[in-house]
Amino acid sequence: MSIWNRYPDYTREELRTLVFLAAETLFESDEATSQFPPDFLMISPKAAAQQVQPIIQREDPTVTTSQIQRLLENEETSTELCLKVLDEIRCYPELANQLACAYERRLQSMATPELFLLTSALVILVLRLKKVSWQKSSKEITFYPSGKAVSSFIINLLSKIGNL
């Protein structure tokens, strides 16, 4: 059964995954890769609103950047917008099929781009932080040994897997 058969009745996780894969699929197109920077998929709602506003103002000159930003940051309106975009994608069978296949591949895989991003950030934090403390607590943790352990683990893992 295709993920499109469930439209628009997705769970939060299904919608999140489908929207991410749709953005990733469109971003990987030749036109998108030539127009947008490599980190584009991490764009903030504020930055997105600034790019969307001039396009929307062609139809309604009264729309402001802050209105668009609030729309993008609001769970209800953002969900409605995502569903509309997905509905438009469904109008293009080749694109819809490509997205459905990507979704099925994602279901078969435990790893996700979100996990890769979080793992990357976590590794950097562990490697670079020497001490950890929080304002609410006077306790300070010396984190340097953990960074060294992770560094050794990475080196060991790289030696096992080679150049992938």
DSSP string, 48-99: HHHHHHHHHHTT-TT--HHHHHHHHHSHHHHHHHHHHHHHHHHTSHHHHHHH
For residues 124 and 91, membership in a common domain is answered with no
Of all residues in the chain, the percent with pLDDT exceeding 70 is: 82
Q: Rounded to whole angstroms, how far apart are CA atoms 89 and 97?
A: 10
Number of domains in the chain: 2
Among 66, 83, 109, residue at a domain's last position:
109
For residues 105 and 62, membership in a common domain is answered with yes
For residues 63 and 84, membership in a common domain is answered with yes
Domain hosting 67: range is: 3-109
Q: Rounded to whole angstroms, how far apart are CA atoms 69 and 86?
A: 20
For residues 48 and 125, membership in a common domain is answered with no
For residues 98 and 151, membership in a common domain is answered with no
Burial 139-157 (b: 16+ CB within 10 A, else e): eeeebeeebeeeeeeeeee
Q: Which residue has the tokens 């059964």?
A: 1
For residues 124 and 95, membership in a common domain is answered with no
For residues 13 and 53, membership in a common domain is answered with yes
pLDDT digits over 120-133, tens only?
666 676 677 676 66
For residues 121 and 104, membership in a common domain is answered with no
Give pLDDT, residue 108. 83
For residues 93 and 128, membership in a common domain is answered with no
For residues 28 and 44, membership in a common domain is answered with yes
Decide if 102 contacts 89 (C-beta within 8 A). no
**Rounded average pLDDT over 102-129:** 74
For residues 50 and 90, membership in a common domain is answered with yes
Give pLDDT, residue 134. 64
For residues 141 and 84, membership in a common domain is answered with no
